[in-house]
Amino acid sequence: MNKQEIKDRQQERYNRGARAEEEFLQSFQCKYPNEDVKKSTKQQDMFDHIDCFAGSNSYDIKSLKKKSAKDDSVDSNIIWIEFKNVRGNLGWLYGKATRIAFELEDKFICVERESLRKRAESLTIKKYTNYPTAYHLYGRRFSPEQERDRGYRCSDVMTFIYLSDIKDIIVEEIPKCQGG
């Protein structure tokens, strides 16, 4: 994979995430017009894993994801879980957000972060795989060129679980606004 393809994939993920965050804020305001909604600061986003404050909760918003970066389309049946981020620090599963909001096609489903942490930890098989496999730990590796360009090694640790694994811990559903 060349540099441009890598940049294009990064940009696609960034755009999908930014769009989901904006759509969540609009949708939350549609459902709860009298509640205050505000974006987090860049520091809160990066270090506390909080994208916004809405009502009495803080949310980390997760856009629809692909199972593999090489896939053509997103898969709404899987949920990626980040135990450690690319720099090896604690991932969003251990952040300070009270809720995690997952984007689906027509709504956002929200779970308490702590409930999700317990569920994910109980489902995860502590065995690494080289290809994304449900419940198994997985870590991406940068090529030496990518490490040089970024200035660090990729140290993330994640897995994916299925949407069906969290159906019973959903605490809130927020329909997407029409036209949103």
Give the Cβ contact number of residue 76 at 10 Å: 14
pLDDT per position as a tens digit, 129-164: 888 899 999 887 666 676 666 665 667 899 999 999
First to last CA, the chain: 34
Q: Which residue has the higher pLDDT, 137 or 8?
A: 137
* Percent of the residues in the chain that have a pLDDT greater than 70, as a whole number: 91
10 pLDDT band (50/70/90 cuts)?
A: confident
Is the model's pLDDT at 73 over the cut of 60? yes
In terms of C-beta density within 10 A (0-12 exposed, 13-18 middle, 19 or more buried), how is residue 87 classed?
exposed
pLDDT per position as a tens digit, 16-41: 999 999 999 999 999 999 999 999 99
65 pLDDT band (50/70/90 cuts)?
A: very high
Cα–Cα distance measured from residue 33 to residue 36, given in angstroms and rounded to the nearest whole number: 8
Domain locations in the chain as residue ranges: 3-175
Least confident of 64-68, 95-99, 149-153: 149-153
Cα–Cα distance measured from residue 143 to residue 148, given in angstroms and rounded to the nearest whole number: 9
Name the token pair of 110: 């929200």
What pLDDT was estimated at residue 180? 46
Average pLDDT taken over every residue of the chain:
90
Task: Count CA atoms within 13 Å of residue 9 on its CB side.
Answer: 14
